[in-house]
Amino acid sequence: MRRTLPAVTTALLLALTSCTTPGSGGPPRTGPPPVAGATPTASRQDAAQAEQTMASLRRVDDLPLYEMTYVGAYDPTVGTDATPPSPFGCSLFVAAGDPARPLFARNFDWDANPALVLRTDPPDGYAAISLVDISYLGVGADPAGDRRLLNAPLLPFDGMNERGLAVGLAADDAATARPDPGKPTVGSVRILRLVLDRAATLDEAIAVFTRHNLDFDGGPALHYLLADATGASAVIEFVDGELRVERGTGGWQALTNVPVAGVPEQRRREDRRYGQIAGALTEAGGVLDAPAAHRVLAAVRQGHTRWSVTYGLRSGEVRLVTATGGGERRYQLPMS
């Protein structure tokens, strides 16, 4: 796929000043106004909460991968509003053949950037664990003391909340979104934060998408895979400017970088990675535990896969493997 990093980097710097494009009809900012001449920040923390957040940062492997717990509130309508560059190829799937153990899995494939495992628990939203490519905050491989990390909640590339709602993104070059002047406009990554904060079920997550215009300017168009604790799943795509929802059937659903809405399954399987995932899930009847899911992810890994992660949609267990090959890291999100 065509790589658009320079354009995206420029767009990111411009977007640092606003959640919406001028005239987009987006919501007004809430909370304290930014200091004149300063980069707006999403933080609505007091000084002690911000220091506690920064103090929680620690490096855990040589990707480099970091972990951080965000303490306090943030405003999801301001701050960095990045669109990811066109990935070489992300792979996602939901294995829901066993309703008691639905699982969401994902490979994120891109450049050798530092990443962050982020815990959030906003006072007006659901607690979540998400993964962030912190280079899109302007943060380098040694982020200690860099307060731009306080914008990290705004850039989840995938994640799961305490209700078992998970979401991830992938590039879809064929997608086009037509704005509705009556709806607020948000960035194509920012929408994941709104979903994680506000949606407990698949239908609620779809409703978050339908209430917003998505801004694909400055980067590739995207499509999204969502699933909830019941195992219900859906792909959200934008076809001829219109949002389309393709719900999962048969105990599993997969997504790579080819359109799926209205596309026959056999044609989807012509994509190598989609075909491998679909074959494995069909053979397993959609029933995979985390080790088996990681084996499927490993089969479609590429040389630029940065992380592979599974989210237990009922158990709250997160298992993460990075490109360092340094072993599996496990996290537990308390479920409500």
Contacts of residue 9, Cβ cutoff 8 Å, sequence gap at least 6: none
Contacts of residue 163, Cβ cutoff 8 Å, sequence gap at least 6: 126, 199, 200, 201, 228, 229, 335, 336
Contact criterion met (CB below 8 Å) for 7 and 218: yes
Per-chain mean pLDDT for the chain: 86
Question: Any idea where the domains of the chain sit in the sequence?
Answer: 5-15+43-77+92-302+310-322
Strands 115-120, 65-69: pairing kind: parallel
> Does pLDDT of 204 surpass 60?
yes
Contact criterion met (CB below 8 Å) for 274 and 89: no
pTM of the predicted model as reported, rounded to 2 decimal places: 0.86
Strands (E), 184-230: 185-187, 213-215, 222-227
DSSP H/E element including 306 = strand 305-312
Indicate the pLDDT class of residue 89, thresholds 50, 70 and 90: confident
pLDDT tens digits, 142-167:
999 999 999 999 999 999 999 999 99
CA pair distance 295, 191, nearest whole angstrom: 29
Contact criterion met (CB below 8 Å) for 319 and 310: yes
DSSP H/E element including 282 = helix 272-283
User: Phi/psi of residue 245, each to 5°?
Assistant: -120, 120
In whole angstroms, what separates CA 286 from the centre of its chain? 23
Domain 5-15+43-77+92-302+310-322: assigned CATH number: 3.60.60
